[in-house]
Structure 1
């Protein structure tokens, strides 16, 4: 693709603006570790929530969704739509708890919740595990997508794409820390969504409009739920059950996850934390989904013979958009890419400095020293990511592997908040067993050729049996640590009854039954809203209004319940 002077002007202007924001916040971010990683815990809900959306909207996301729709159909989006339920669980169960805890990272929770040497070892190990292993895989997935886009659009090789696309992001992440990340996230999200909407309109129009598109694409691919022609034991339906029955609660970020927790913790207070997380989920699923899905459906009509489904999305940009819009679209890819990469670079260095270097290597250094180490960690972790990216080939494959890789740990991360008996050895055994079982399921024995849902069920079931057994065979955390944690977070529920008796009274926070009802209403509301928008856009008005009715009813019930909580609607 040949870019015009106007295209290059738009792209360069965007890059310069991102870098200038980094320079602007350098002094403020350098004042303390809290400023560098959490913006001084003073973010309003709309900025924190938009940053959450921007972070999860990367350059790989439209390619990933295009691959799902072209390879299977709309229904395969349940691979990530299932996380609506964990997203709403984060809103009503965990947003307030994380903000009350006042941590800098989610890994810091470990030594506030558990006691003894095992807790210290676990914290240090997880800091390296997430910053070097898990986050490197995530960042490699993101950089790979941008490399594919630049290969299709500009003909750049993999190494030069990795270097050029990452350079500006690394620079402003090192300079401005979290302040630069969340501020650039805000305008990056606007640019990224604008680009997605423009390509959606143009591609659907070139395909002949919605009516032509519906006639050309099979009904199975247009379905929002998997086919059951082969019975309820068919692969498509069983995979769907694996997503909605297992994936959402078993993933390693089931209680919020690092990047979301970082934004919860950076909010002004509990109210802003809860509203930010709710807003994020609505924007993430109901609003972001459909420009990508419609463009993917149009690509089936326009490019029926292309085998690399993930490469079709940037190819449409090259073939369909005129000068000016090409530059804007490519800038939107850079915006989506940079928002995610900068977030994971910042959080990875936070894990390294806050949860490994500071507590175990150099405890009594100055804030300036820790910020310098944070910047150096950002650079080194970026180099590692570039090397790993060069050896990765499939975006969907990486996503599925990540879900399975952490699937044995999700339940223990939820349970640690609501059962006093969970200890550091519970998490250690869950992590080890999950890792071992994932390797076995994907590489060895008879499981290597099994369906995805079979592998997922295997990893979860074996890991859960192991960590629950280890929990019951090992000592709980010290009473003093449990009491301190309970007073600080007030999680409530029957799992803390022994601790409540020690402090002569139950928690004053919301009950688990309140959170459970709000979670059910919230999940149904968001599922109804997401599917209703899609149905209406595709011209299925009757079913669209039925899903909308579900959203309105459950949304109304949710609002009625939440309106009792005066603090939530205070100005």
Structure 2
């Protein structure tokens, strides 16, 4: 069996990756510093479609993602991926409706749109609050789960005591503050090293360095995820053996033992009817809400955030649109299946019954040393040299038991953590060299996501706070240095928040609830002239309050026995229910608020329409030369065709992997035909590069 301690060649591969990332920062630092905010945060607006699209995919491909999906497949089956598959429609919407207008807006941050669109004191307040919330709270929640995911990946491999020596290792452990510990000293050293490298190239090179490293990091991470899935399937004897092994280990009566049966694990959609809900399976109602509600009520439905940052870094609107389309297909069609197959293979290689028994044996061993054998003692003493398959999937927590005399006794309890199935596959199946490459690929995914978020977060501090409120006439050199210091600050704050994160899935759910309040307001600002600053303020506050209340109540034990949220059990038996109810409540509040507050002044709406050429219902404000060549209804048709093409391609690959070739090939042919029709529709608008630049005349219209 492959030893968990990395070999010399593994370390060489990792060091080469880190050296490459450091070199990129040095190579592009002069170009980043020459252009002020636009040079540092939007790469001079010169990016091509394949470059910016790949960068978006690389950012969403974080080190935590394969772990979370491995856990979902054990809990919900492959259908659990609908938690993010439902976003495919939103990704095509970004392509068709929003990519061009983000580029033509000429902004540096998406918060800046508030004052361009609405004007007035309320818009200024909205911009300030949005920038602050995104730079700190939202950014730190995202990076919190990313840091936690990296910790779970590195834990079985990075034996820093063996590498540094006992003296140096102990000195660091004694000096490092416990409040900033990432669950263990080894995890902390790993994450601090990666964070240092990421900060180096991000603070020197800005977005340009982030995007260059993204390109290489994505190729490496995607290639290794495919290889890990292939080796896991090959270990089982091929796809046919994997699916038959799944059926053998998880028969129809597995639900009695608390596990999903094989048929439910392999299904791409939930069974009709609620079936098994809550801890197991994804209820059909949650599936319907994912397709019907969740994707359009997310605050990222229009690309707000790091996606829009890439879009307004594009060379022109045509490049932005193509980049968004490439991101949609690469994100859902290319990335989905290596992780899903690896998650299924992990269930077969490490059966849940056996891992549960292993957890019980280690719990007994921790309570009574006489229950331990030599192998178990070795694993507890030195996890890096543990020979027991499946030990990597175990995690511990401390249970406090009150005794009869009032004394409290602490027990160490071992339990299964299916998110650790992915690093377990790496540990047990990969030989020297490939193990280092796989670990380097996940480190690359980690650095790609972290670099994007600290650069994006810093853009709010530099553009929406410093330049706007403190020093409007600051030189490009000063703004570049402010941007670099802001990058360091965002990274430090995010690292501190990450020390509190225990469960990646719970943080995903918190983030989903927080973003749920902005979906409809963001759509309204682009499609309806009547939207105003209060539309976004009310939706944002409603979503934030409900999501945080729900999260804190859960951590504080505020739920009843039959509840999983602040909502009663009959309303919310799955996290998707909770997020959708939050989004619908916020949508209702934002619509009512819009109708009760005065509209934006006509001159402001007209100037905004002249600048971005929006689609939708603008009561004549976007007529004449301001009207885009491709109208609303043709764009809606392109969106439907593109969404159908993406889902057809995604499930075409899935059916091939499930050894149903006729269905798979038919869906892939449909994907190709629908994609051709989508591209034909998108081509009906021409590229007007001059009109997409941020001219002085445009700026004057919006003063």
TM-score tier by shorter-chain length is over 0.9
SS of residue in 1 equivalent to 2:643? helix
Deviation of the 1:259 alpha carbon: 1.1
Instruction: Determine the structure 1 residue equivalent to 2:74.
Output: 70
Instruction: Determine the structure 2 residue equivalent to 1:24.
Output: 27
Deviation of the 1:566 alpha carbon: 5.3
State the 4+ residue runs in structure 1 displaced beyond 6 angstroms: 231-234, 503-506
CA separation of 1:122 and 1:176: change in aligned 2, threshold 3 A: same
State how far apart, in whole Å, the 1-side matches of 2:599 and 2:349 are: 60
For the aligned residue pairs, the C-alpha RMSD in angstroms reads 2.0
Q: Deviations over 1:240-260 (max 9, x none)?
A: 112112211111111012111
Q: How does 1:332-481 map to 2 (within 5 A)?
A: 332-442=441-551, 443=553, 447=567, 450-451=572-573, 452-481=575-604
Instruction: Determine the structure 2 residue equivalent to 1:485.
Output: 608
Deviation of the 1:463 alpha carbon: 1.3
Instruction: Determine the structure 1 residue equivalent to 2:87.
Output: 83
Instruction: Determine the structure 2 residue equivalent to 1:125.
Output: 129
In the alignment, is the contact (CA less than 8 A) between 2:145 and 2:507 conserved in 1? yes
In the alignment, is the contact (CA less than 8 A) between 1:441 and 1:448 conserved in 2? no
Instruction: Determine the structure 1 residue equivalent to 2:621.
Output: 499
Instruction: Determine the structure 1 residue equivalent to 2:270.
Output: 226
CA separation of 1:454 and 1:492: change in aligned 2, threshold 3 A: closer
CA separation of 1:183 and 1:235: change in aligned 2, threshold 3 A: closer
SS of residue in 1 equivalent to 2:146? helix
Instruction: Determine the structure 2 residue equivalent to 1:3.
Output: 6
Deviation of the 1:506 alpha carbon: 6.3
State how far apart, in whole Å, the 1-side matches of 2:232 and 2:542 are: 46
Out of 506, 516, 519, the residue aligned to residue 639 of structure 2 is 519
Greater CA drift, 14-23 or 200-209: 200-209
Deviation of the 1:509 alpha carbon: 3.4
Q: How does 1:214-253 map to 2 (within 5 A)?
A: 214-217=243-246, 218-228=262-272, 230=274, 236-253=283-300
In the alignment, is the contact (CA less than 8 A) between 2:513 and 2:546 conserved in 1? no
Deviation of the 1:377 alpha carbon: 1.1
Q: Deviations over 1:400-448 (max 9, x none)?
A: 2211121121011011001111111111111111122223444267517
Q: Deviations over 1:31-87 (max 9, x none)?
A: 122111111100111111111111111101111111111222111111101110000
Q: Deviations over 1:120-147 (max 9, x none)?
A: 1111111110000001111111111111
State how far apart, in whole Å, the 2-side matches of 1:458 and 1:223 are: 26
In the alignment, is the contact (CA less than 8 A) between 1:162 and 1:386 conserved in 2? no
Deviation of the 1:330 alpha carbon: 0.9
In the alignment, is the contact (CA less than 8 A) between 1:48 and 1:276 conserved in 2? yes
In the alignment, is the contact (CA less than 8 A) between 2:610 and 2:626 conserved in 1? no
Q: Deviations over 1:60-116 (max 9, x none)?
A: 111111111122211111110111000000000000111111111111111110110
Deviation of the 1:567 alpha carbon: 4.3
State how far apart, in whole Å, the 1-side matches of 2:102 and 2:686 are: 20
CA separation of 1:470 and 1:162: change in aligned 2, threshold 3 A: same
State how far apart, in whole Å, the 1-side matches of 2:459 and 2:474 are: 16
Using the size of structure 1 for normalisation, the TM-score is 0.95
State how far apart, in whole Å, the 1-side matches of 2:450 and 2:596 are: 41
**Does residue 202 of the first structure (1) align with residue 223 of the second (2)?**
no
Instruction: Determine the structure 2 residue equivalent to 1:12.
Output: 15
CA separation of 1:272 and 1:69: change in aligned 2, threshold 3 A: same
Deviation of the 1:454 alpha carbon: 3.2
Deviation of the 1:548 alpha carbon: 2.1
State how far apart, in whole Å, the 2-side matches of 1:120 and 1:380 are: 24
CA separation of 1:545 and 1:64: change in aligned 2, threshold 3 A: same
Instruction: Determine the structure 1 residue equivalent to 2:100.
Output: 96
Deviation of the 1:357 alpha carbon: 1.6
Unmatched 5+ stretches in structure 2: 161-183, 247-261, 356-392, 394-415, 560-565, 689-703
Deviation of the 1:498 alpha carbon: 4.5
Instruction: Determine the structure 2 residue equivalent to 1:173.
Output: 202
State how far apart, in whole Å, the 1-side matches of 2:526 and 2:296 are: 14
**Does residue 136 of the first structure (1) align with residue 140 of the second (2)?**
yes
In the alignment, is the contact (CA less than 8 A) between 2:54 and 2:218 conserved in 1? yes
State how far apart, in whole Å, the 2-side matches of 1:322 and 1:210 are: 21
State how far apart, in whole Å, the 2-side matches of 1:213 and 1:420 are: 55
CA separation of 1:193 and 1:266: change in aligned 2, threshold 3 A: same
State how far apart, in whole Å, the 2-side matches of 1:297 and 1:508 are: 47
State how far apart, in whole Å, the 2-side matches of 1:135 and 1:92 are: 27
Using the size of structure 2 for normalisation, the TM-score is 0.78
Instruction: Determine the structure 2 residue equivalent to 1:537.
Output: 657
**Does residue 109 of the first structure (1) align with residue 231 of the second (2)?**
no
SS of residue in 2 equivalent to 1:25? helix
Q: Deviations over 1:356-386 (max 9, x none)?
A: 2211122221111111111111111111111
State how far apart, in whole Å, the 1-side matches of 2:593 and 2:681 are: 39
CA separation of 1:497 and 1:321: change in aligned 2, threshold 3 A: same
- Quick check: which one's helix share is greater? 1
State how far apart, in whole Å, the 2-side matches of 1:492 and 1:146 are: 42
In the alignment, is the contact (CA less than 8 A) between 2:76 and 2:282 conserved in 1? no
SS of residue in 2 equivalent to 1:162? helix
Out of 280, 283, 287, the residue aligned to residue 330 of structure 2 is 283
Instruction: Determine the structure 2 residue equivalent to 1:193.
Output: 222
State how far apart, in whole Å, the 2-side matches of 1:478 and 1:229 are: 50
Q: Deviations over 1:265-304 (max 9, x none)?
A: 0111111000011011111111111111111111111111
State how far apart, in whole Å, the 1-side matches of 2:331 and 2:444 are: 16
In the alignment, is the contact (CA less than 8 A) between 1:232 and 1:238 conserved in 2? no
State how far apart, in whole Å, the 1-side matches of 2:300 and 2:683 are: 29
State how far apart, in whole Å, the 1-side matches of 2:673 and 2:636 are: 17
Deviation of the 1:230 alpha carbon: 4.7
Q: Deviations over 1:541-571 (max 9, x none)?
A: 1221232243133223323433444549xxx
In the alignment, is the contact (CA less than 8 A) between 1:247 and 1:403 conserved in 2? no
State how far apart, in whole Å, the 2-side matches of 1:272 and 1:564 are: 15
State how far apart, in whole Å, the 2-side matches of 1:508 and 1:366 are: 36
Q: How does 1:266-277 map to 2 (within 5 A)?
A: 266-277=313-324
State how far apart, in whole Å, the 2-side matches of 1:15 and 1:235 are: 40
